[in-house]
Amino acid sequence: MQRKLRTRAAARSGQPKSVKPSFRLPLEKIVLPAIAFLVVLLVWWVVAEFFTTLMPTPWQAFVDNLDYIFNPFFRRGPGNLGIGWLLLASLRRVLIGFLLGTLVAIPVGFWIGLSPRAMTAINPIVQLFRPVSPVAWLPIALSIFNLANPSAIFVIFITSLWPTVINTALGVASVPKDYLDVAQVLEMPRWRQMTKIIWPASLPYIFTGLRLSLGIAWLVIVAVEMLTGGIGIGFFIWDEWNRLSLSSVFLAVVVIGLTGLLLDYAITLIERWATHRPAKAM
């Protein structure tokens, strides 16, 4: 009896220990990243304080940006807009270019995934242009369109092509043979095999391509807008640098980062809805 009691007591005293790790985990997930962010802020502060006179300290940058943060949608005359408007202008360019790129990239990727001859024909073009920085297309676009806005959209269009083309082709070419065997045994006509088997089976790959495309497009738009000027978050950064207002640049960096995060998250939501499977971690 006594031994039983003792073991029970031991079990009870042991219990909190075994519960702790699962209890600690969510806290860890907040505390550890917070520490990392603090380290970054510390480095920023040290650099701003001791190495340069142009850079604001984190706190000063925050205070300087309070107006932008609390009034993201002000209009104080031409070219003096809240950061929300600038963000929307950039987002609009990216989304139009990305959608146009997707409309071309998915069918082309599908085609070269299905047909080895199309792959032989088109693959060299893809391989040649894929490593080219999309910004290099800007002068060509400007020569065609003569306008900043369509040129920026064109550059995003080109940017969005390659990852989606490559991943779609890969997805289509690597549909498990088992699925195609099922289709064949069921005597599915070729067209329905494409819509009912090959398309849904390659969707996860296509979404991987879309996520890469959109991520790069969002990177590229900042550079493009710096060059083209006009309204947009990229030009805002360049403009503020010319006024030596570094605080606004830091704000833009944070806003661009958060927006990129949200764009990626939005695609994973669409992917989950479209494929009924969780998105792969990238």
Partner 1 sequence: MVKSSQYSQPSEHRQAEFETDFLVVQDLVKAYPSAGGDPTVVLDNINLTVGANEFIAIIGHSGCGKSTLLKIVSGLEQATSGGVFLEGSPIKKPGADRMMVFQQYSLLPWLTVRENVRLAVNEVCDHLSPRDRTDLVEEHLAMVNLTAAAEKYPDELSGGMKQRVGIARALAIRPKMLLMDEPFGALDALTRGHLQRQVLDIWERNPQAVMMITHDVDEAIYMADRIVMMTNGPNAHIGEILEVPFDHPRDRTALRESKEYYELRNHALGFLDNYFEQMS
Q: Cβ contacts of residue 268 below 8 Å, gap of 6+? A: 207, 211, 279
Which of residues 108, 152, 197, 217 is near partner 1 by CB under 8 A? 197
CA distances, 82 to each of 66, 191, 229, 233 (Å): 12, 51, 16, 10
Residue 203 within binding range of partner 1, rule CB under 8 A: yes
Does residue 111 belong to the site contacting partner 1 (CB under 8 A)? no
**CA gap 85, 106 in Å, rounded:** 31
Q: Does 194 bind partner 1 (CB under 8 A)?
A: no
User: Which range in 2-10, 32-40, 96-104, 269-277 contacts partner 1 by CB under 8 A?
Assistant: 269-277
- From 93, 98, 99, select the one nearest 152 (Cα to Cα): 93
Out of 100, 201, 216, 219, which residue is the one contacting partner 1 (CB under 8 A)?
201
Report the length, in residues, of the chain: 282
Options 7, 71, 133, 184; binder of partner 1; rule CB under 8 A: 184
6 binds partner 1 (CB under 8 A): no
For partner 1, which is the closer residue by CB, 95 or 201? 201
Neighbouring-strand partners of residue 183: none
Q: What is the smallest separation between the CB atom of 148 and partner 1, expressed in angstroms?
A: 42
Q: How many residues bind partner 1 (CB under 8 A)?
A: 19
Does position 277 interact with partner 1 (CB under 8 A)? The reply is: yes
63: contact with partner 1 by CB under 8 A: no
By CB under 8 A, residue 188 contacts partner 1: yes
Contact status, residue 211 vs residue 267, Cβ threshold 8 Å: yes
d(CA 115, CA 94): 31
The nearest distance, CB 179 to partner 1, in angstroms, is 6
**Segment interacting with partner 1, rule: CB under 8 A, options 68-76, 150-158, 175-183, 211-219:** 175-183
CA–centroid distance for 237 within its chain? 20
Q: Does 190 bind partner 1 (CB under 8 A)?
A: no
181 belongs to the binding site for partner 1 (CB under 8 A): yes
Task: Report the nearest approach of partner 1 to the CB of residue 211 (Å).
Answer: 18
Out of 44, 74, 145, 179, name the contact with partner 1 by CB under 8 A: 179
Beta carbons of 157 and 100 less than 8 angstroms apart: yes
Per the structure block, which two tokens stand in for 281? 């971690």
Residue 114 and residue 200: Cα distance in Å, rounded?
14
Residue 74 as a binder of partner 1 (CB under 8 A): the answer is no
Which residue has 């640098």 as its token pair?
241
Residue 78: CB minimum distance to partner 1, A = 50
Q: Which two tokens stand for residue 25?
A: 């985990």
Q: Is 187 in the site for partner 1 (CB under 8 A)?
A: yes
Under the criterion CB under 8 A, does residue 275 sit at the interface with partner 1? yes
Buried b (16+ CB within 10 A) or exposed e, 221-232: bbbbbbbbeebb
Cβ proximity of 279 and 271 under 8 Å: yes
Applying CB under 8 A, the residues found at the interface with partner 1 are 176, 178-179, 181-182, 184-188, 192, 196-197, 200-201, 203, 275-277
